[in-house]
Amino acid sequence: MTLLELDNVSVHYGRIQAIKDMSFTVEEGEIVSLIGANGAGKTTTMKTISGLLNPSAGSIRFAGKDITKMKAHIRVVQGISQAPEGRGVFPGMTVLENLDMGAFGRKDRSGMATDIARVFALFPRLEERQKQLGGTMSGGEQQMLAIGRALMSNPKLLLLDEPSMGLAPQFIRQIFKIITEINSQGTTVLLVEQNANQALARAHRAFVLETGEITHSGTGKELLANPAIKEAYLGVG
């Protein structure tokens, strides 16, 4: 079943068009990666899906509903959750308080214990550090917290904006492994990455974004094998 569908979406910053007639779908249960260089429109795409930016044209459908005009905070309740670029954890809140904020829009308090347990199981480090302030944690821990916090709304679709940004290679592998695990637990993942190697290897399907347009698409493996992409994004060739 199609969970997310972008239909000819365009996004402008003032007069500058950041995304041009973009269309793609995310099926339920998939990991989909969007890869591209700086300025390709990856983060813009994410913000448009989560509702922080409004498209100037086109429509977005989520789980069969048109959400083009829906406010970001309502999209969370509908099941779209984002771990923003640069992590965006609340620096003055503890780990636990950050996680608590992630469940802000939820009405079912009973489900929260299960979700906190799930997050702590995925990220044992967060359980150890639950009383530490978000702003005092390392980059990798903040990334864990951002993902964990996004999971607290029990989303159908998890948006991850550059989860590997600024992390050590070892950490990157770990984060991607956890992303695969989150997906295997039934959450659909849409991932934006510059680290094309990991992003393609882990994805069911992937799209390559260049200056606001999708230029290539295919399964992760196909794109990994594509010589043009190898040359442009994988540093091989």
Partner 1 sequence: MSMTDGPTPLSSAKAAQSAADREGLTTAPGASIAGRRGKKPGSLGQRWNALSRQQQWCFLIIVVVLAYLLPVINPPIITTEPGNNFGLACFDMARFALIAIGLNVVIGYAGLLDLGYVAFFAVGAYVSAMLTSPDSAFLKIPYLWTIPVAMAVTMFFGVILGIPTLRLRGDYLAIVTLGFGEIVRILATIIPAMKGQVGFQSVGHPPGTAADGNPIFTNSNGVPWYWLILTVIIIVLLLVGNLERSRVGRAWVAIREDEDAAEIMGVPTFKYKVWAFAIGASIGGLSGALFSGQVGFISNQRFDVYTSILFVAAVVLGGAGNKVGAIVGGALVSYIPLRFTAIAEYKYLIFGILLVVIMIFRSQGLFPARQKLLAYGRDAVKWMFKRDDGEHGTGAKRTTGTAQEKGAQA
Q: 122 vs 229, which CB is nearer to partner 1?
A: 122
Show the tokens assigned to 97: 């308080």
CB of 174 to partner 1, least distance (A): 7
| Number of alpha carbons in the 13 Å side-chain half-sphere of residue 62 | 23
Contact between 180 and partner 1 per CB under 8 A: no
Asked whether the beta carbons of 78 and 63 are under 8 A apart, the reply is yes
- C-alpha–C-alpha distance, residues 17 and 236, integer Å: 31
Contact between 218 and partner 1 per CB under 8 A: no
The window from 10-18, 33-41, 119-127, 227-235 that contacts partner 1 (CB under 8 A) reads: 119-127
**Residue ranges in 21-50 that form contacts with partner 1 under rule CB under 8 A:** 50
Contact between 72 and partner 1 per CB under 8 A: yes
Burial 155-182, CB ≥16 within 10 A → b, else e: bbbbbbbbbbbebeeebbeebbebbeeb
Contact between 97 and partner 1 per CB under 8 A: yes
Length of the chain: 237
112 CA to centre of own chain: 21
Contact between 82 and partner 1 per CB under 8 A: yes
Contact between 7 and partner 1 per CB under 8 A: no
Footprint of partner 1 (CB under 8 A): 50-52, 71-73, 76-77, 81-82, 84, 88-94, 96-97, 99-106, 109, 112-113, 116-118, 120-122, 124, 127-133, 136-137, 149, 153, 174, 177
